[in-house]
Amino acid sequence: MSVSVRRVVEAGLLVAVAVAVLAFGGTAPQFFAITQGIVLLLGILQLVVGRRSPGTAVRFPVTVPFILFALVLLQILPLPISIAPALGIRAADPPHSLFTISAAPYQTVSQLLMLVTCVTAFYVVLMLGAEQKAQKRLVFGLLTIGMFEAFYGLIQYLTGWQQIFTYVKQFYLQEATGTYINRNHYAGLLEMILPFAVVMALQKIWTLRRKAPDELNRMKKILSSTEFPFLALWIFVAAVLFAALVFSRSRMGIISALVSLIAIFARAGTSSLPPRTRIATGVLFLLGIVGLSVWIGSDPVITRFETLDDQYNHPGQDRLSIWRDTLHLIRRDPLLGSGFGTFAVVYPSVQTAFLSHLVDYAHCDYLQIAAELGVPGGVLVFGAIFWILGLTVRHCSRAGREHDKAISLACLGSITAILLHSLADFNLYIPANALVFAVVLALAWSNATHIPRA
């Protein structure tokens, strides 16, 4: 692929992600259609003119996407009603000769299009990931989007200007949500991008330490180095991202981000980074967070955690009740599920929680995917994600170059955060977050399975 085409693809992908994020997190179908069109066009462009870079060994995983697409297509394919009992499915009334596994084929088709978009973006990033500089540009693009969202959210929180461009918010009027409607999904975006800023700071520390091996004069050399302003910049970026996440007041988002940072520093401990350097970096980052928190005010966040018990002390009106109901759905169609994207349609048949409300999501990605795709489908999806996570963890200690190690560490933190957050929310069903997650997974896979060109 020529350099000019690669630049077009890089820019197009980042524009697609930005459009999805800025347009209410991609939850407005008319705006996310623009993102889908851009990504699919980029995929076609790759197929028409794309070539593997010489000297690279890019591995393109095809088994899991193929099986997943086949499963979803099977859910919307009209089947003879005579085979319904064999599949353990309660099909339509006898007058109908055909049935679909999906309880709502239109919703399944819509969800399939989002899946195609994310998988296409995954492969596009794999092609771009053959070049180290392209990886860096993609990371900088994600960080730029994240910083815009962080500053936007902090402005909302500090000034009380609770708007998303011209749209006046109706919910979460005391929290930072950026261009998202829901604070938890806003936190989901930031927690995926935050690890990249933290690792950028760590990378600068590795560079400074290498340039100043003499421990006696190290601090003086570090402070006078041309790299020190960049270290301060990345620590500032990380602090702003985390502060915006904190003031989204998303409890699970804050916990997930903290766990991801612990995972990064723990894994960095097996690298060449000395303990005192890790501690110093953590202290600088913590001081930045404390300073911003003191300036902005942390009482609302603390109050939010103090109400944690209330969420689970009202039987029939909590997430635990939704989860129990979702387990009933899984037991009803354990093999093939009710159809991708059909949770809102089938949930009323088992609903015992929030009886006066429409429950759109299970607030647990693991349970909802198992309910919609069946237990084998859920194992397939999350098994593949955990497989990539495992490869990434292993590559963190085996990577020879600082760039490879940094990308792996950042992807480790990002994937860990969203997998943890998925226990109590539905970030993977938010189009913009799913797209960003696909990009992160592709960066992780690309970095762990081949050596990029410089």
Per-residue pLDDT tens for 197-220? Answer: 999 988 887 777 766 655 545 566
pLDDT value of position 308: 47
> pLDDT of 52-106, one tens digit each?
544 455 678 899 999 999 999 999 999 888 787 777 776 555 556 788 999 999 9
CA–CA separation, 410 and 142 (whole Å): 12
Per-residue pLDDT at 423 exceeds 80: yes
User: Residue 167: beta bridge partners?
Assistant: 164
Helix axes 132-159, 275-296, angle to 10 degrees: 30
In terms of Cβ atoms closer than 10 Å to its own Cβ (0-12, 13-18, 19+), residue 376 is middle
How many C-beta atoms lie closer than 10 Å to residue 124's C-beta?
24
How many C-beta atoms lie closer than 10 Å to residue 25's C-beta?
30
pLDDT value of position 57: 55
pLDDT value of position 117: 97
pLDDT value of position 316: 56
Whether the CA torsion 288, 290, 291, 295 is positive or negative: it is positive
pLDDT value of position 403: 82
Per-residue pLDDT at 443 exceeds 60: yes
Tokens 């709502």 belong to which residue?
104
pLDDT value of position 454: 45
Per-residue pLDDT at 274 exceeds 60: no
> pLDDT of 289-331, one tens digit each?
556 555 555 555 545 444 545 554 555 567 899 999 999 999 9
Whether the CA torsion 144, 146, 151, 155 is positive or negative: it is positive
Top-confidence residue, 275 or 168: 168
Kindly state the average pLDDT of the residues 155-175.
Answer: 93
Integer CA distances (angstroms), 368 to 50, 209, 292, 377, 428, in order: 36, 47, 37, 11, 10
pTM of structure: 0.89
> pLDDT of 362-374, one tens digit each?
999 999 999 999 9
Encoded tokens for 43: 């995929």
pLDDT value of position 266: 83
Helix axes 228-246, 132-159, angle to 10 degrees: 50
Per-residue pLDDT at 124 exceeds 60: yes
pLDDT value of position 312: 47
Per-residue pLDDT at 125 exceeds 90: yes
CA–CA separation, 255 and 263 (whole Å): 12
Provide the greatest CA pair distance for the chain. Answer: 86
